[in-house]
Structure 1
């Protein structure tokens, strides 16, 4: 038994303006999830430095932590940037198409940084709890899982779609 999903492409039956509006709406939904995630990650990381045991972490752990804070900050900035672009460019002729194009790039960059922060946070936690080797293994496993689920799986689906989709 084969699961056949009909190939219905909304872009074939919509105007350029409708397509632009739909893409912006879809991006907004993605931004809501991404913004919440980056802000939660950032909050988690910021609370760590105020824990009593933080002063006992190694130099490697401290450097990894600071790298994660910087990366999470950049991810948060990128995830919120489309809102700023939209606010500043709102109402100007041709602005929506540019905002949608810029947001596409910003979302992709944000996801890369979020993946790095997630894998790095796993590495940091495993390193603190179980040691350097476990930190490397934990971080690598997280990075592989993220790359597989966020990149390899969608790309595999993309290869199976009809040409021109």
Structure 2
């Protein structure tokens, strides 16, 4: 088994730009499949909330948070599905590297929107469940945790290991 840690990547992969674009597209598609499932479940749940008897009893602030959460969920869904529709609409025009670049940007936007959706949903749910002034602090702590896991840690690893090349 190879040791964990920096690897000699000076040789890199022996692939053409087209092969690299194909590989990166397949990797992106797998990533979007994973995240899209969670987004679909969250969005479906959010869409049903308005039809429950309890919704009518929510405070106006909670209804506003709910609407914002649903809109963020819709925007998240749009960005993540946009990765696939982007590919579908430009496929066959010999733009695979450009397609991968733009679809990757849409996926990253979808992840950022997902962070906002989850934060908003947590705020709504915890406000209703706890009726506590600590809720914004709890949500802020969880958002910070997501930012660390989703962005800071990968950026740190990238900076650490790419500086060794």
**Normalized against structure 1, the TM-score is what?**
0.89
Q: Are 1:54 and 2:55 matched, yes or no?
A: yes
1:151 aligns with 151
In structure 2, C-alpha distance between the alignment counterparts of 1:105 and 1:3, rounded to whole Å:
30
Gaps of 5+ in 2: none
Q: Is the 8 A contact 1:24 1:100 kept in 2?
A: yes
Q: What is the number of equivalent residue pairs in this alignment?
A: 163
2:133 aligns with 133
In structure 2, C-alpha distance between the alignment counterparts of 1:48 and 1:134, rounded to whole Å:
24
String of CA shifts for 1:10-60, please: whole Å, max 9, x gaps: 854222111111100101101111221221111011111111111111111
Q: Is the 8 A contact 1:125 1:135 kept in 2?
A: no
2:23 aligns with 22
Gaps of 5+ in 1: none
In structure 2, C-alpha distance between the alignment counterparts of 1:153 and 1:9, rounded to whole Å:
24
Cα RMSD after superposing both structures: 2.0
1:123 aligns with 123
In structure 2, C-alpha distance between the alignment counterparts of 1:125 and 1:143, rounded to whole Å:
15
- Cα 1:150–1:24 shift into 2, 3 Å: same
3-state secondary structure, aligned to 1:145: helix
- Cα 1:21–1:107 shift into 2, 3 Å: same
Q: Which has the higher contact order (CA 8 A, sep 6+)?
A: 2
**Normalized against structure 2, the TM-score is what?**
0.89
1:71 aligns with 72
Shift of 1:155: 1.4
1:88 aligns with 89
